[in-house]
Structure 1
Amino acid sequence: MNLESIISITGKPGLFKVLSQIKNGLIVESILDGKRMPVHATDKVSALSDISIYTQDSDIPLADIYDKIHKKTGGKAAVDHKSKPEELRSYIKDIVEDYDQDRVYNSDLKKLFQWFNLLAEKGLLKPDEKEAKDGDDKKVVKPKAKAPVKKRIAKPQNIKTSSAKGGGQTSMPSKKGG
């Protein structure tokens, strides 16, 4: 599951897909309605690939949790994010047995399931190709032919020195009339 190009922007609803970079930010497209907009460097942006859930031992990346939920639901929507917090906690307990109940808040679980359901609805939750294929089918990768290496020869730089205008006059012109 590739979540690297999907981001969340603080203060804006839903998730966004990164389209390109601009001088001082990003161009994103809303997954909810498909509208494009610029995101400036002052906005707080979180990539879904960087988000993880606390467990007793370590952290589990969000992509791994979404893989487990995807397998459990068969690619359909999970529990509604507007459900009671107890339902959300019991559902995540089935997915991640040792998640840290003290550090994972109800609001975190609401976002987790809201984002999952949005991505599932739009068909953006697809398992990675390497996980989808069986171990028997090995893909043979041909190495690409390397382009011949061109040697770069340093060109002599024409160093220009500034010279005084007026034929080599080095003194300041005198003030007249005063």
Structure 2
Amino acid sequence: MSLDKILSIGGKPGLFKLVTQTRAGFVAESLLDGKKISVGFKNNVSVLSEIAIYTLDEEVPLREVFKKIQDKENGEKTPVSPKDDKIKLEEYFFEILPNYDEDRVYASDIKKVIQWYNMLHEQGITDFEAKEEVAKEEEVKEVKK
């Protein structure tokens, strides 16, 4: 499953998988406990594939940040916990994304990124490639044949 179907819903803990769309919103399933909820269009909803992290140069898509964490940890969970102190979280994030904008990326944002990465890892969602990248790789393989 790609990050295009994973949601963060304001006021709700954890992440959700988009199940289906309805006339008044959509149905989402919690990755924490598997419970389904109905979400209206008025709720603050973010699709993980659309989130980016500020750096001093540009905005880096969240999927790339997850990929960097995955590479650093050899596909395992992070050694830091979202509950660790601010300094430890910032030091870890600096190892992942050395040029992140410390003025616009808060400790609470870093906590969410680490929490989300670990939650996705627990659910076996570890494919952080963009659909376009996967499509291009498949095209290259076809051309080489």
Partner residue, 2:65: 65
Q: In terms of mean alpha carbon deviation, does 2-11 or 121-130 score higher?
A: 121-130
Deviation of 1:62 after TM superposition, in Å, equals 0.3
Letter of the aligned partner of 1:81 in structure 2?
A: P
Partner residue, 1:139: 141
Alignment check: 8 A CA contact 1:76 1:121 kept: no
**Between the two proteins, what is the percent identity of the paired residues?**
44
Q: In structure 2, how many angstroms separate the alpha carbons of the residues matched to 1:103 and 1:13?
A: 23
Deviation of 1:50 after TM superposition, in Å, equals 1.1
Note the 1:121-136 alignment, pairs <5 A: 121-128=122-129
Which consecutive aligned stretches of 4+ in structure 1 deviate over 3 angstroms post-superposition? 127-132
Note the 1:26-175 alignment, pairs <5 A: 26-78=26-78, 79-128=80-129, 138-140=140-142
Deviation of 1:61 after TM superposition, in Å, equals 0.6
Q: In structure 2, how many angstroms separate the alpha carbons of the residues matched to 1:131 and 1:94?
A: 25
Alignment check: 8 A CA contact 1:14 1:115 kept: yes
Deviation of 1:2 after TM superposition, in Å, equals 2.7
- The one of the two structures with greater contact order (alpha-carbon pairs below 8 A, sep at least 6) is 2
Higher share in helix: 2
Q: In structure 2, how many angstroms separate the alpha carbons of the residues matched to 1:115 and 1:121?
A: 10
SS in 2 for 1:77: coil
- Structure 2: 5+ residue runs without aligned partners? none
Letter of the aligned partner of 1:10 in structure 2?
A: G
Letter of the aligned partner of 2:116 in structure 1?
A: W
RMSD: 2.2
Q: In structure 1, how many angstroms separate the alpha carbons of the residues matched to 2:56 and 2:66?
A: 19
TM-score, with structure 2 as normaliser: 0.87
TM-score, with structure 1 as normaliser: 0.72
Letter of the aligned partner of 1:119 in structure 2?
A: L
Deviation of 1:131 after TM superposition, in Å, equals 7.3
- Structure 1: 5+ residue runs without aligned partners? 142-178
Q: Which has the larger radius of gyration?
A: 1
Which whole-Å deviations, capped at 9, do the CAs of 1:81-109 have from their partners, x for residues lacking one?
Answer: 10111111111111111100111111111
Deviation of 1:127 after TM superposition, in Å, equals 4.5
Q: In structure 1, how many angstroms separate the alpha carbons of the residues matched to 2:65 and 2:12?
A: 23
